[in-house]
A and B are shown apart, each in its own frame.
Chain A
Amino acid sequence: KDIVLACPMNMCPQDKPNKTPQEIWEDFSLSFTPAVREVVEFAKHIPGFSALSENDQVTLLKAGTFEVLTVRFASLFNVKEQTVTFISGATYSLEALKGMGMGGLLDTMFEFSEKLNSLELTAEELGLFTAVVLVSADRSGIENINSVELLQESLIRALRALVSKSNPCDVSRFTKLLLKMPDLRTLNNMHSEKLLSFRID
């Protein structure tokens, strides 16, 4: 059975049939690994993040990397055209990807991207929102919940101030933005289920 990796971080969703799963995985890791490193570098620049224990930093990054990348790559999902652009630059229609067996997760990604893009966040707002997403005190396995909570609260306050400053007339914008967080959790869970079905040896 052909392996389909309909992740925009992959070069293309379907490789040549003669490629082994190991080769497909090695190719994917060429784009996946640098993307994860960028998320780690981003985290290091969040004021206060490096002061957390190393284990809590790792726990937050393990749990939140997918969500950070989802926010970062939301623009790759063109809702109007119903297409996904992969990092290779190639664009695939949602219909074609569904034809390869990808369904529910992609539909939910499109819904999320549409809602996020409709908020028209500035780069600064998007960066701060991403920091709030990453520093979530309710991730499983956090050792010092209090420290993570304090950091997340300060980031949320900064985000609220920033969003209110850029759109003082739209008081619901901040609430709408925070409501994207449970959507990201849902996507994260769906993505984890997909990963479990694709065992990497």
Chain B
Amino acid sequence: FSDPASNLGLEDIIRKALMGNLEERPE
């Protein structure tokens, strides 16, 4: 990985949170 943020899976978490994906949220 050349991008540390990609290494963390950060973009995936951010995109899901931005879309308000409630299924991804903990109860």
A and B part of one assembly: yes
Instruction: Give chain A's interface residues, CB within 8 Å of chain B.
Output: 29, 32-34, 36-37, 40-41, 44, 54, 57-58, 61-63, 65, 191-192, 195-196, 198-200
Contacts of A58 in B (CB 8 A): 11, 14-15, 18
Partner of A36, one of B2, B4, B14, B26: B14
CB pair A37 B8 closer than 8 Å: no
Complex: chain B residue closest to A63, CB-CB: B5
Interface residues of B in 1-23 (CB under 8 A from A): 1-2, 4-5, 7-11, 13-15, 17-18
How far apart sit A34 and B25, CA to CA, in the bound complex (Å)?
Answer: 8
Number of interface residues of B (CB under 8 A): 16
B-chain residues with CB within 8 Å of residue A65 when the two chains form the complex: 10, 14
Task: Give me the interface of B with A, judged by CB distance under 8 Å.
Answer: 1-2, 4-5, 7-11, 13-15, 17-18, 25-26
Q: How many pairs of residues, A versus B, come closer than 8 Å at their CB atoms?
A: 48
Bound complex: CA A195 to CA B7 (Å):
8
> Within the assembled complex, what's the spacing in Å between the Cα atoms of A40 and B15?
9
Cross-interface CB contact of B17 among A32, A36, A191, A200, cutoff 8 Å: A36
Most buried by A among B8, B15, B25: B8
Given A54-B18, A57-B18: A36 and B13 within 8 A (CB)?
yes
Given contacts A195-B7, A200-B8, whether A33 and B13 have CB atoms under 8 Å apart is yes
Given contacts A54-B18, A57-B18, A192-B4, contact A37 B11 (CB under 8 A): no
A57 → chain B closest CB, angstroms: 6
